[in-house]
Amino acid sequence: MPLLEENTLSQEHPPTLPVVIINGPSGICLSYLLSGYKPYLDTATVHPNPILYRKLQEATHLPITEQDMKYLSEGLEGRSRNPVAVLFDTLLHPNADFGYEFPPVLKWRRDKHQQIPHLVLGKGTPGGAWHAMEGSMLTVSLGIWMELPGVNYRDMTNGKRDRATPEEISSYYKDYVKLKGLQKNFVDNTYVTSVQKLCRGHEQEGLENGQEDQRVVDGGNGHFEENGKECENNGGGGTLWEIRGYRQVQSDTHVPFSLFAENVVLATGASDSPVRLGVEGEDLPFVFHSISDLGLAVSQGKLDVNSDPVLVVGAGLSAADAVLCALNSNIRVLHVFRKNVDNPDLIFKQLPKTLYPEYHKVYNMMSSQTCTNVASLSSSNRPQAVSIASSVCAKMCPKPQLSAGSIAGGSSISLFPDYTSFPEHCVVSFQSDMKCLLQGDNSLKAFKISMALVLIGTNPNLFFLKGQGQYLGQDPTRPISCKQNPIDINPYTFECTKEPGLFAMGPLVGDNFVRFLKGGALGITSCLLK
């Protein structure tokens, strides 16, 4: 399979491929299956689920990819909303949710005659966001749950720890691609700027990202038009996808490319765009949305034990990582989050203490080191208090009128020396004088801080699709969100219900853990082979 060499990027007639994958980590597993690797039941093993095992024995001569996904996954339960993801997970890690570490019940054979030619376009090297993560943190998932089919994680990493560092995982993924001979399918340093559906056999004019032309896609009725001519959308038989973008060949050199594909797979992950509070001052230079900015400030000596506190906003694992990073550097922390500490939806409630002691340390502080007597601003000039329940504080928190000297400080504050939590609080605003205003308990509180980290989640950035792909969501009136509004797919093929020939996998369809995103590769490969 040829790479996109520089001298082929500007061809008059760009190449047409059966499949193009716009990559995150999930694209590696899909490339493995599309390269002819087929999973069969290992008849030397016994699956602990007797009903599934009986189904598997009915067709031991057939690879799983050629069997009925709906039939095999029926009745299975797991931590994914997608049944094929649960199926593939239990074949690779039987009864993992019960604490067992049974061997996989699959064996892999390669059939080079059933390869599906494809390219995987990625912004970096294979492994996606793992290469950009802080190397000293530990993964939430167990190391063995991060492994990809056919290569044992422990054999590759000599891992003695249950959980792994991002550096270990990223190295494993890079080595995996080389070991399985998948390098020819991957094109690194590529940035996709446009994905559009075309009529096969019709001439079209190139588009720059964001411009309009006469092509009209109607995701609702299965038809689309180009220059006024309607074409039936039949999942690749009469349509093509045009993928445009550029490849960064040097630090400042961008070479444009254009490809045609019969099918496109969205495997971009969810870390592109941080969720914002939408409050006044969020664009000030001391407000950040990535934990890496905290590490950079510490390493550059901009923060130390004498600095004003760091404000951390959020109650997820990224926020907990930021708290740990700051405390490990003897930097004081103010931790703000909307939920009550007893809320059962807090992620800490779902993590075993023995495996995740550092996160339970943070949760214990969240529960025990709460604000006790923080000075409150006068509420005489603000509207009647409202319930703080929205994910965007700006919509729910009234904008106060501050007066000189209204910042809480001095002996009127009762804060813990290292860390203080503010449950059921939200940020009202950030001020240019490095002050932040919080609302909670029917009162307003203001503090001088050295830095703010807003870590309340991330959303995918599908700017290269029509309307940023919003029409593909389960609720087409809302932006795509991995948790709140994932892409609507056929649960057994992972094909978008509103766009045949377009597939999605991983966080885009609600599977945020590597353990389950592999199911998308199984469903998509099964669909394309059939």
Q: Model confidence over 392-415: pLDDT tens digits?
A: 344 444 444 443 334 444 335 578
Q: Which class in CATH covers the domain with range 276-371+416-454?
A: alpha beta
Assess contact for 480 and 473: CB atoms under 8 A: yes
Cα-based distances in Å from 466 to 144, 169, 224, 242, 470: 38, 34, 13, 13, 8
Q: Model confidence over 426-482: pLDDT tens digits?
A: 999 999 999 999 998 788 899 999 999 999 988 888 999 999 999 999 999 999 988
Assess contact for 232 and 238: CB atoms under 8 A: yes
Other CB atoms closer than 10 Å to residue 39's CB: what's the count?
A: 23
Alpha helix (H) ranges present in 316-451?
Answer: 317-328, 357-368, 393-396
Residues above pLDDT 70, as percent of the chain: 73
Cα–chain center distance at 232:
33
SS3 255: strand
pLDDT in the model for residue 98: 73
Q: Model confidence over 97-123: pLDDT tens digits?
A: 776 678 889 999 999 889 999 999 988
What's the pTM value of the predicted model, to 2 decimals?
A: 0.76
How far apart are the C-alpha atoms of 216 and 368, rounded to whole Å? Answer: 57
pLDDT in the model for residue 156: 60
pLDDT in the model for residue 297: 92
How far apart are the C-alpha atoms of 45 and 106, rounded to whole Å? Answer: 8
Q: Cα angle at 245 between 239 and 246, to 5 degrees?
A: 145
Structure tokens at 64: 């799983």
Query: How much is the average pLDDT of 204-213?
Result: 37
Q: Model confidence over 472-509: pLDDT tens digits?
A: 999 999 999 888 899 999 999 999 999 999 999 998 99
SS3 515: helix
How far apart are the C-alpha atoms of 498 and 385, rounded to whole Å? Answer: 42
Cα-based distances in Å from 481 to 80, 430, 474: 16, 26, 10
| Residue 263 phi, psi dihedral angles, 5° rounding | -140, 145
Q: To the nearest 5 percent, what fractions of the chain are helix, strand and coil?
A: 30, 25, 50
β-bridge mates for residue 56, sequence order:
none
Confidence grade of residue 173 (pLDDT, cut at 50, 70, 90) = confident
Q: Which of 116, 88, 147, 111 is nearest to 31 (CA)?
A: 116
Strands 229-232 and 451-454: unpaired
Q: Domain segments of the chain: what residues? A: 16-189+458-529, 276-371+416-454
Confidence grade of residue 385 (pLDDT, cut at 50, 70, 90) = very low
How far apart are the C-alpha atoms of 338 and 422, rounded to whole Å? Answer: 8
Confidence grade of residue 528 (pLDDT, cut at 50, 70, 90) = very high
Confidence grade of residue 80 (pLDDT, cut at 50, 70, 90) = confident
β-bridge mates for residue 274, sequence order:
458
Only one residue has tokens 């309307």, namely 467
How far apart are the C-alpha atoms of 445 and 460, rounded to whole Å? Answer: 33
- The angle that helices 166-179 and 26-34 make with each other, rounded to 10 degrees, is 20
Assess contact for 334 and 434: CB atoms under 8 A: no
Cα-based distances in Å from 192 to 232, 243, 248, 258: 26, 7, 11, 9
Q: Cα angle at 282 between 276 and 286, to 5 degrees?
A: 120
Measured over the CA atoms of residue 353, residue 355, residue 357 and residue 362, the dihedral's sign is negative
Confidence grade of residue 211 (pLDDT, cut at 50, 70, 90) = very low
How far apart are the C-alpha atoms of 415 and 158, rounded to whole Å? Answer: 44
Q: Model confidence over 12-49: pLDDT tens digits?
A: 556 789 999 887 668 899 999 999 999 999 999 999 99
